[in-house]
Copies of this chain bind each other. A is one copy, B any other.
Amino acid sequence: MPQNIYDNDSFFAGYATLARSQKGLDAAGEWPALRALLPPMQNLRVVDLGCGYGWFCRWAREQGAASILGLDLSEKMLARAAETTTDPAITYQRADFSALTLPAESFDLAYSSLALHYLESLAPLFTAIHAALTPAGRFVFSIEHPLYMAPSNPAFLTLEDGSRIWPLDNYLAEGRRETTWFAPGVVKYHRTIATTLTNALAAGFRLTAIQEWGPTDEQIAQHPSWADERIRPPFLLVALEK
């Protein structure tokens, strides 16, 4: 089972301070790009892997999705999500994505935002999602970009000549990374883009879109501190079809 860091009190309190936690999807820089990869929601049966506070579940329902199953490992997150809706078409459920079972061919769309990097292996989950999707069903996800995760010291450096760099030191060494983010000892798993895509192809998916996301000029004008994110992208966005 992956580490359940979101149920750590300090982490949960820290995570709650993020703009995306407080204001939802529109406060997430990558949301416009991720949304553009989604099919029309009308009448879709949707599963959201790593639903957190349930922002996406509620958005999907507003867009006309027939039903949404929000899954998360964190009990605190699920409790918070459950408080935000009484819509019977939205169901929240606890799930361990490293050993997920879902009913066969019962979802038209699987969605996951920034959850998959907590998993040591993607293969079992991708196989489970593929089996749970209807024919031509979609799987759209974001994940921390491997460039964001790879370094031993994932922090920008300013060199003597004034240049600002991202100190990449072990991109091809996949596996466990431990960082401090609202709490010490947050465990993530670094994989190259190629490994993530290879897992998707092996599960039977077809790649339909991919984006290494960074903020647009317009977003940087609004949020100057985001400029560094163009040095190395923070997120990878992928769209797959069964």
Contact = CB atoms under 8 A, between A and B. Distances in A.
Contacts of A230: 170-173
Contacts of A192: 212, 233
Interface stretch (A8-16, A121-129, A159-167): A159-167
Contacts of A153: 163
Contacts of A210: 193-194, 197-198
A167 B163 contact: yes
Interface of A: 147, 151-153, 157, 159, 163-173, 192-194, 197-198, 201, 206-212, 214, 230-233, 236
B231 A168 contact: yes
Given A163-B152, A193-B193, A193-B212, A231 B198 contact: no
Contacts of A173: 230
Contact of A170 (B151, B159, B167, B231): B231
Contact of A201 (B170, B208, B212): B208
B164 A165 contact: no
Nearest to A145: B171
B233 A172 contact: yes
List the 5 shortest-distance A-B pairs measured between CB atoms, nearest first: A165-B167, A172-B214, A172-B230, A166-B168, A194-B212
A214 B168 CA distance: 15
Given A147-B147, A201-B209, 9 more contacts: A163-B167, A166-B168, A168-B232, A171-B212, A171-B231, A171-B233, A192-B212, A201-B207, A206-B207
